[in-house]
Amino acid sequence: MIRISKDYDVRKQEFLDAAQKLFYEQGYDQTSVNTIIDYVGVSKGTFYHYFKSKEDLLDALAERVARQRLEQLHSIVEDRKLSALEKFNGYFAGSRGLIEKSEDIAKAVLRVMYEDENILLRHKARVRSMELVVPELGKIIAQGVQEGTFNVPYPERTAEMILMLGGELKDIYARLFLELDEKPENISLAKQLIDQYEDAITRMLAAPEGSIRFHEQLNLRDFLV
Amino acid sequence: MIRISKDYDVRKQEFLDAAQKLFYEQGYDQTSVNTIIDYVGVSKGTFYHYFKSKEDLLDALAERVARQRLEQLHSIVEDRKLSALEKFNGYFAGSRGLIEKSEDIAKAVLRVMYEDENILLRHKARVRSMELVVPELGKIIAQGVQEGTFNVPYPERTAEMILMLGGELKDIYARLFLELDEKPENISLAKQLIDQYEDAITRMLAAPEGSIRFHEQLNLRDFLV
DNA sequence: CAGTCTAGACCGACGGTCGGTCTAATTTAG
DNA sequence: CTAAATTAGACCGACCGTCGGTCTAGACTG
């Protein structure tokens, strides 16, 4: 076999890129280490030179995904021209992700990601994202309290709860989306769900009724990822 | 080898009992099918006669756990003497579980259950519990709306969100509990968390301030399981 | 500048474990 | 007595992770 040496970081990113693609397409359990090394074009030994276990790779991937998400958010938080309410609504509206490209690809990804078997992948990504995002969302809420729009004693705790709810909601939402072909009524169910979520958030923040609105800017497809 | 035949249901329960004990002690992944059959004292063939896969056993266990939890709740819901508020607070106070017996055992169980590796076990139990419990808690909330204590448009949806929040909260709570020895400050963190949860629920239900109180009846240990 | 040395990227056969299958033997019900 | 249900345990392929060892770019030496 030909031997190709690469810079450490370059190679590591290759592994992460491969993992992201393969895990999303086939799931974590269903993707063997052999599949990964075949895809990257290296040997077993090389893999274990970079990661101490398959799960170690998963952790690294979760970390990378979480950081990417954080950067996305950071530009909004630091914008001094925006009110807390605008930031808040903007954050949730900005969650639109892969679905714009192709609905088929999106469905395939979701189908895999939201199988029970892949709960570990989702869980790790979510936990790490939470750790990073909670403080940022907390800042937005704190700003809102100062501006008099919101009223909560501990902004970060509230941010935590809002995000926990959001995370669980995505699960349900994904399921509704995937069943859309068989159950057209899911569209109204999903809308109802978002309404409820908006309402719950509004109440938790003690925000003016109707001020929290990311709903209209979204269609059924945009909420995920 | 001696052969022991047993009634179908008896044997099936034996498997479930063994799984419950072993999964709780060692985790799902760490408990091999061989470990289970050794514990029950039967062969591979017997195992696969009763369950079509290891995950099938997990599903069955999740189902059993969820049903047990439902029965516990059902007696409260059907009590005609209680107001919705009493039922609501009673339900949450009634969540105290295994911890009364021994703190050490509880810690061991939690330590295993709340490792990332065992997320699948937790996830399945939670999803199935939710499906069964949401309608019951929905009934309580609906009663509360009729009594004028609560004010929500869709009781079941609200129940869903309250339970989702509760489920996630348990995760954090468990972590705080497990770190208690190293971090005594977790006690106040945990209290703060519960306060926040009470507050969030109160706002989501539009219940009178201070009416939702399962807090005092619990100590740090009782909230889990 | 030619020769040497070395860090560390890379290789792939291999061990041990696991979930799951299969056939034969035994027990039980009718 | 016999058909169906149940149980035993040898067996299988796939998997993760280990290990001893190879190869090469670039630093160092004389």
Residues 6+ apart with CB under 8 A from A4: A41
Cα B114 to chain centroid distance, Å, stands at: 12
Residue A88, burial from CB neighbour count under 10 angstroms (0-12, 13-18, 19+): buried
- Cβ–Cβ gap B196/A154 under 8 Å: yes
Confidence grade of residue B216 (pLDDT, cut at 50, 70, 90):
low
Looking at CATH, the fold of the domain delimited by A8-51 is given as: Arc Repressor Mutant, subunit A (1.10.10)
Distance B3 CA to C26 C1' (A): 8
- Cβ–Cβ gap B196/A169 under 8 Å: no
- 3-state SS, A54-79, equals HHHHHHHHHHHHHHHHHHHHHHHHHC
DSSP string, B150-182: ---S-HHHHHHHHHHHHHHHHHHHHHHHHTTTT
Chain A interface test: which of B55, B113, B120 (most A C-beta within 10 Å): B120
> Residues of CATH 1.10.10.60 domain(s) within chain B?
8-51
Confidence grade of residue A10 (pLDDT, cut at 50, 70, 90):
confident
Q: Enter the CATH code of domain B56-205.
A: 1.10.357
pLDDT digits (tens, 9 = 90+) for B25-74: 899 999 999 999 999 999 898 999 999 999 999 999 999 988 988 887 88
DSSP class of residue B206?
T
Q: Which helix (H) or strand (E) holds A16?
A: helix A8-26
pLDDT of B160: 93
DSSP string, B24-42: HHH-TTTS-HHHHHHHHT-
- Cβ–Cβ gap A168/B169 under 8 Å: no
* Closest Cα in chain A to B168: A164
Q: Is B163 on the interface with A (CB under 8 A)?
A: no
pLDDT digits (tens, 9 = 90+) for A88-135: 888 776 555 545 556 777 777 888 888 888 889 889 989 999 999 999
pLDDT digits (tens, 9 = 90+) for A38-77: 999 999 989 999 999 999 999 999 999 889 888 878 888 8
